[in-house]
Amino acid sequence: MQLSRILLIEDDRSIASALTQALQTSHHLTVTRSGALALRKAEKNRYDAIILDLGLPDMDGLAVCKQLREQGVTAPLLILTANEKVLSKIHLLDAGADDYLVKPFSLGELKARLWVLLRPPLPPGPRATISVGGIILNRRAHEVRRDDIPIRLRPKEFALLEYLMDHAGTLATRRALTSYAWPDRQNLWTNTVDVHIKHLRDKIDRPFNRQLIVTMHGLGYKLDAAPDTIPEETT
Ligand code: CA
């Protein structure tokens, strides 16, 4: 298996070494504490993902982010920030970031975000935004809203919802859901999907009046709604 190449730009030694330890078995990590050096590295090498701390000793992390995009670097970019309030998510996405994590974060959370970013790109065709029964899911921004209320989902919950929404109104078998959300796993506990669907329901259904995820006993699940009409995308 080829290791994915990650550029980590982080001046905090303890975080850099924790991430290196956590990621080095499945990724090839290049670590630098300098924004300027990172820009040069990214110009010469191809990375599968970039993890960027916003508070660097030599440059503003956001400026690094913008310059990477101006240089034509298309690798998914995950921002690490010490303070959620300093910059809004909109600012970060505007600067070219794909996702962000607020310190302190768990290594599990970081791995989950990275997993999503490293997933192969969607084949051309599916729309970035799907809307079913008042749920709006944006594949690119990795965001979900129901009745305009933002809902935070974990990566597997997101994948399951994405599949259910893509197949709204029809049966999604457990097997289909499993192979979509866990493409690299052969043997999952049979109730893994059910457990994640339960968590998904707690977030996407339970707080609302109408329950959209229907259990098809012995078979799987169905999102019981028709796709909404949404305006054509401009991008
Ligand atoms: Ca820092």
pLDDT per position as a tens digit, 202-219: 999 999 989 999 999 888
pLDDT averaged over every residue in the chain: 88
Model confidence at 157: pLDDT above 90: yes
pLDDT classification of 119: cutoffs 50, 70, 90: confident
Q: Count other Cβ atoms within 10 Å, centred on residue 65.
A: 24
Distance in Å, CA 10 to ligand 1 centroid: 6
pTM exceeding 0.75: no
Secondary structure (3-state) at 188: coil
pLDDT at 234: 43
- Residue 53 CA to ligand 1 center (angstroms) comes to 6
Mean pLDDT of 154-175: 92
Q: What is the pLDDT of residue 235?
A: 42
**Integer Cα distance of 190 and 107 in angstroms:** 26
Q: Which residue has the higher pLDDT, 235 or 56?
A: 56
Rounded Cα distance between 5 and 12, Å, is: 20
| Residue 85: predicted pLDDT | 63
Least confident range from 127-136, 157-166, 182-191: namely 182-191
For residue 60, pLDDT beyond 70: yes
Degrees, nearest 5: CA angle 132-135-141: 110
Ligand 1 centroid to Cα of residue 2, in Å, is 30
Instruction: Give the containing element (helix H, strand E) for 79.
Output: strand 77-81
Q: Give the model's confidence band at 162: pLDDT under 50 very low, under 70 low, under 90 confident, else very high.
A: very high
81, pLDDT greater than 60: yes
Taking the centre of ligand 1 as the mean of its atom positions, its distance from the CA of residue 73, in whole angstroms, is: 22
Tokens for 175, please give them: 């097997």
pLDDT of residue 86: 61
d(CA 88, ligand 1 centre) in Å = 18
- Residue 154 CB-density burial (10 A; 0-12 exposed, 13-18 middle, 19+ buried): middle
